[in-house]
Structure 1
Amino acid sequence: MKMLLFVSLCISALIVSSTAFAGSSNTCCMKFSSGILSRKLIARYYNESNSLCPRHAVVFVTLKNRTFCFDPKQSWVQNIIKYLNEKEKLHMTTQNSASISTDKEKLHMTTQNSASMSTDKEKMHMATQNSVSTEKKQSYSFSTSQPSSIM
């Protein structure tokens, strides 16, 4: 019984390891594509360098999500990689600029709201002072009035 269990575990381990290896080999570039891709068709790229793969390759992914393996030593491949990297940097810079612009707008609005609130407070303070001043005038008018004489 123990022997049967041991053999079953060994077979299971063998199946799992061979499946993992087969899955890895399917993602490797076994040969390079011939020809040249237009950079307008390429959405992104990644480097294929796995210890299980026979060769290092650059994989271009097209807009239609198709993949092509190319030799990274070719000058046109290096030029497209440079172009895609610069395009990504520009995209990131644009996003950061938009974020900074939005932050500046928020700060400007906060400053305007603070100024508006302080102006409103000043108006309320002035209205309160005018109200107190009017009450004082009224109280003075009562206090300075002459009592009527009854004869």
Structure 2
Amino acid sequence: MRILMSLLLLVLFCSLQLTSSAPRALESSSSCCVQFYKKKIPLNLVVSFYQTGSNCPISAIVFRTAAGREFCLDPDSSWVNSHIAKVNSRTTTTTTTKTLSTTV
């Protein structure tokens, strides 16, 4: 009886370990890039961006468009860095404008 109880406890522990690590595994695979998109994306289509996580095989910048599409891009590309700076300034300007209009 004691062996059966120990075996049951071991199976329960293993199943908890598998279920607790499953969401993290799904999350990391969905936000990683396999290859870079080669074409230049027009700046007016880009609404946001993010960098892939450190657990991904390649480091990439992901641009999200207004239509919801995501493109994996080379972070060392000059046009990508230019787009990032412009999207950041666009976001900062919008936030500053909203803050000023609410305080007046």
Same topology, TM > 0.5:
yes
| 1:78 equivalenced with 2:81 (yes/no) | yes
| 1:67 equivalenced with 2:70 (yes/no) | yes
Q: Aligned residue pairs: how many?
A: 100
| Distance in 1 (alpha carbons) for counterparts of 2:78 and 2:60 | 13
For 1:1-151, what aligned pairs fall within 5 Å after superposition? 1-2=4-5, 3-18=7-22, 20-48=24-52, 50-100=53-103, 102=104
Unaligned runs of 5+ in 2: none
Q: TM-score, normalised by structure 1?
A: 0.59
Cα deviation per residue 1:88-125 (whole Å; 9 max; x = unaligned)? Answer: 1211221222123x2xxxxxxxxxxxxxxxxxxxxxxx
Q: TM-score, normalised by structure 2?
A: 0.82
Identity of aligned residues (%): 32
Which has the larger share of helix?
1
Larger radius of gyration: 1
Show structure 1 runs of 4+ deviating over 2 A: 14-20
1:4 Cα deviation after fit: 2.8
Q: More relative contact order in 1 or in 2 (CA 8 Å, sep 6+)?
A: 2
Unaligned runs of 5+ in 1: 103-151
